Amino acid sequence: MHYEELRIYQLAKTLRDALHEELKKISHYWNIEDAMQALDSSSSAVANIVEGHGRKFYPQDNYRFLNISMASSDETQNHVIALISDRHLEKSKGDYFKNKYKTLSIQTLYYMNWIRKKYNL
């Protein structure tokens, strides 16, 4: 299986792309720390899924990178909450991203648990 076939990869990539497009609509988004951090952490969530999958023959490494991806997803949620709070991001749009990243974190955890059980980690 190629990483592009993983549901968590597909969700993470779709969310990253949509969040990046939404944040680009914010005037001077590059000067807003939480916007830049959200861009970085959303990209990290995707990249770590890919890197972990690339180490699929080393289940402990795959598990570790998935854990980092989940942490990046959680971090993105935190930055989205801050952007809502600071009124840089409309609440309804922010809530959408917050909830979708929460779903991504949960799905990543399920996948991690599957790997842990399969390989007795």
- Residue 1: the pLDDT is 87
pTM for the structure as a whole: 0.95
Topology (CATH level 3) of domain 3-118: de novo design (two linked rop proteins) (1.20.1440)
Spell out the residues 6+ positions from residue 39 whose beta carbon is closer than 8 angstroms to its own: 19, 20, 23
Residues 28-55: tens digit of each pLDDT: 988 999 999 999 999 999 999 999 999 9
Residue 2, SS3? coil
Residue 82, SS3? helix
* In the chain, where the domains are located: 3-118
